[in-house]
Amino acid sequence: MLKTRFLKLLTTKLGDDRFLLTAQDEHGRSMSPFKWKNLVFSSHEESFFGTALDEMTVDDVEGVVVNGWQLVSLFAKESFNRFIEWDWNEESEICLAAANSMYEGIVEKDWHPDFSVWGPDGEFHWKLPERVMDEFHPEFWEQMVHGDGSSASSPADEVVHGDDSRASSEADEVRHENRPHASPTALNYISDLYNSALDSFLTRNNAAKELFGPKLDLLKKQNLSGLELARYFDEESWLEWVGIKESEAPFTIGLRLDEPEDGDGDWSLDVFLRGKKNIDEIVDVEDVKRIPARWRP
């Protein structure tokens, strides 16, 4: 028989792209994850139905740690027990409101870089999709997200799972990251959550890691500014470059280095077009008359 009839789920953002979920009963008393974990994650495939999640105690409150993708997918699907009266803290409400559009953006490959925050050290951040922005009025994005005093927002006391050295290390890490800081706007909070969720999603996807990893490493080595990259890439060209979307052009562009015919003089660098269907079909870009009509705009 189900004894729990009311459950308030509280979300607290930790400082390392992780989130702590804690719960309270109808009297505002903290509940052990043993009493509510199955109710929350019983239909959540992304966390293997809660079995792959660590538990953590922060400020004497026990909770469950999730990454960005696990949090977004949990709130997007809303597979919560219908016999429970659910309530949320402010962070949970913000996440719940935007989760569905973020989830759709991730699974439908709305993966675009935010070059406006590209730093000199190659810092990379995923851009919040327009579909998420369009879901709400500007007032929603401008509101401040205040941490709930009843949720865990202070230094970690212990990590329940893992050996003592790992527990001590993670607790020290949380102590460092969870120092008081200014409340973010909803836009900043959700932008960071989307970035974290997409990173987590790609990390668990080997094919995506192989697709993006070398390309991102290449960009970081070029010492290019975010402004320069933004001028070069639009959304379409970015998706084509990383291999998510195939270019509709019937040809590819190549470079050919030709030595001088008599062996002396300067070498020449020529640009040519190569057909996609027939790779033996090669035309110099300067030989306009030979460019097939089907290749023309």
One-letter identity of residue 193? L
One-letter identity of residue 96? L
Which pLDDT does position 158 carry in this prediction?
38
Res. 25: pLDDT tops 50: yes
- Cα gap 171→159, rounded to integer Å: 7
Can you say whether the dihedral through the CA atoms of 38, 40, 45, 48 is positive or negative?
negative
Share of the chain above pLDDT 90, in %: 42
Which pLDDT does position 166 carry in this prediction?
44
Angle, alpha carbons 21-23-25 (nearest 5°):
170
Write down the pTM of the prediction.
Answer: 0.73
- Cα gap 186→165, rounded to integer Å: 36
Tell me which of 163 and 47 has the higher pLDDT.
47
Which pLDDT does position 116 carry in this prediction?
84
Banded pLDDT at 2 (limits 50, 70, 90): low
Res. 154: pLDDT tops 60: no
Q: Give me 217's structure tokens.
A: 């490493």
Tell me which of 114 and 262 has the higher pLDDT.
114
**Helix residue ranges, H only, the chain:** 33-41, 68-77, 90-107, 130-133, 138-142, 164-177, 186-203, 206-221, 226-232, 235-242
106-114 mean pLDDT: 90
DSSP state of 265: S
